[in-house]
Amino acid sequence: MGRGHLTNLRLIEPGAHVTVWHQHSKLHDATEITPMADEVVYRLGDALETKPDMALITNPASLHIETGLALARRGIHLFIEKPLSNTLDGVDELLDLCRKRALVLMVGYNFRFHRPLQVIRQALVEGQIGRIILLRAEVGQFLPEWRPGKDYRQSVSSRRDLGGGAVLELSHELDYVRWLIGEVKTVSAQVAHFSDLDVDVEDTAEIILQFHNGAMGSVHLDMVQRPAIRTCRIVGTEGTLTWDGIRHRARLYPAATNRWSDLHLDKTTDRNEMYVAELRHFLDCVRGNDVPIVTGADGRRVLEIALAVKQSSRDKRVVEL
């Protein structure tokens, strides 16, 4: 994600001075980074000497809060990749610090910038399927195919100590269902490592959510499925909405017509468009022209739900939020 954001930043702000701070002693992908960065450093002090206005934090989730606090104390606006962290330790301190210093803190749940999901949310706001009754969301993709050419066993996704596992790595679903339906009241879940993947994290999660508005949600996350799938179905008293994240399609089935229609269909959609839109929005927020669509508080809430998922599975009980 760091390389992707850097590429998009160069596209949006080609004249920006960009410093890459790499927290390891050796940058294995320096040949990819160096042409896009004005400089690459390996110490926080060297990064701060450039007096940055903003920072994009794309290191492992377990380091997000530590990094964010160090930068926020120097008055730097923050974009933090999802999830906000892998524990709640230090999260409130970071949110309080950013609030007191009037710093932008945005979390990288990029599907809020995905046009088909935006269309579905608008349909819900307009009441096109009546009162929401239930939601079913599913995402699955075989982990070794996430990053072609790289050993999946060395990735953040496969390591518990770095914040990996299906629940945190695929927490986009937990964010967008909350964005679409509303606040979550209770969580019931089962998570486990079911596959033959050589990882020390859960690779599958089945989650039941009860929302404050009375709707019920079922969310499936896995790192084992082939071919990849990403879908959502929302059933209301007056119809159904569906999203296909692989085909970039949003559909509506209103009870009034009993016929499917496309709300959004674009087979040529560039997946990078939502990342560009996300970064443009962050820059607008830093300039004071907008407020974050995904706030630090949103990131905290999604993390709270994700941790409740794990607690529910561990304790074999329903967890109230």
Inform me whether the pLDDT recorded for 130 exceeds 80: yes
What are the residue ranges of CATH 3.40.50.720 in the chain? 2-109
CA–CA gap between residue 127 and residue 1 (Å, rounded): 36
The three-class DSSP label of residue 87 is: coil
- Structure confidence by residue, pLDDT tens digits, 155-195: 889 999 999 999 999 999 999 999 999 999 999 999 999 99
- Per-residue pLDDT band at 28 (split at 50, 70, 90): low
Average pLDDT, the chain: 94
pLDDT of res. 56: 98
274: which 2 tokens? Answer: 């939502």
171: which 2 tokens? Answer: 């927490």
117-129: average pLDDT: 98
- Per-residue pLDDT band at 22 (split at 50, 70, 90): confident
What are the residue ranges of CATH 3.30.360.10 in the chain? 111-266+296-320
Inform me whether the pLDDT recorded for 282 exceeds 80: yes
- Structure confidence by residue, pLDDT tens digits, 58-92: 999 999 999 999 999 999 999 999 999 999 999 99
Inform me whether the pLDDT recorded for 217 exceeds 90: yes
51-59: average pLDDT: 96
39: which 2 tokens? Answer: 């400089």
Q: Where are the beta strands (DSSP E) in 42-183?
A: 54-57, 77-81, 105-108, 132-140
Comparing 248 with 267, the larger pLDDT belongs to 248
Percent of the chain surpassing pLDDT 90: 89
Q: Is residue 39 classed exposed, middle or buried when 0-12, 13-18 and 19+ CB atoms within 10 A define those classes?
A: middle
CA–CA gap between residue 300 and residue 285 (Å, rounded): 19
CA–CA gap between residue 60 and residue 163 (Å, rounded): 7
Inform me whether the pLDDT recorded for 29 exceeds 60: no
* DSSP line for 165-231: SHHHHTTHHHHHHHHHH--EEEEEEEEE--SS---SS--EEEEEEEETTS-EEEEEEES--SS-EEE
Domain 2-109 matching CATH 3.40.50.720: the answer reads: yes
State the first-to-last Cα distance of the chain, in angstroms, to the nearest integer: 30
Inform me whether the pLDDT recorded for 263 exceeds 80: yes
- Structure confidence by residue, pLDDT tens digits, 93-108: 999 999 999 999 999 9
Evaluate whether 318 touches 188 at the Cβ level (below 8 Å).
Answer: yes
pLDDT of res. 270: 79
pLDDT of res. 149: 83
- Per-residue pLDDT band at 32 (split at 50, 70, 90): low
* Cα 63 to chain centroid, rounded: 16
Q: Which CATH number fits domain 111-266+296-320: 3.40.980.10, 3.40.50.300, 3.30.360.10, 3.30.565.10?
A: 3.30.360.10
Inform me whether the pLDDT recorded for 27 exceeds 50: no
Sign, CA dihedral 187-129-299-96, equals: negative
Inform me whether the pLDDT recorded for 228 exceeds 50: yes
167: which 2 tokens? Answer: 């629940």
Cis peptide before 83 (omega within 30 of 0): yes
